[in-house]
Amino acid sequence: MPYPRRWGADPVALVALCLWVVVAWVLMVVLTSKQSWPAAYGLIAVGVPLLVWIWVSQGWVWALIGAGVMGSVLRWPLRYGWRWVMARLGRPTE
């Protein structure tokens, strides 16, 4: 008889995060610099619902770890986004 499943004990969301990292790495290796920005937008579009799924299934700690992993992979879009927000607020970024 299988063990009863607890809330938050389903590792499928974490496996999906690992697959997201592998896909991001493959895209980085295969694509040129002009093709990397559309790929980054696609990774962000898939990554946000993935973070919500991790939050619901695993809890906020794993979602925070997942956000850190995604932020380390997508560091340039995050930097440009941060500069854009600071420019909109009228604050210098340097």
- The pTM of the full predicted model, rounded to 2 decimals, is 0.76
Closest CA relative to residue 36, chosen from 79, 69, 82, 77: 77
Quick: pLDDT tens for 51-69: 999 999 888 999 999 999 9
Predicted pLDDT of residue 2: 55
Looking at the chain, list the stretches that DSSP marks H as alpha helix, in order from N- to C-terminal side.
12-30, 33-58, 60-73, 75-89
Q: Is the model's pLDDT at 1 over the cut of 50? A: no
Quick: pLDDT tens for 35-54: 888 888 999 999 999 999 99
Say if CB 82 and CB 93 are below 8 A apart: yes
Residue in the structure block whose two tokens are 């696609």: 42
Domain boundaries along the sequence of the chain: 11-90
Residue 6 and residue 22: Cα distance in Å, rounded? 28
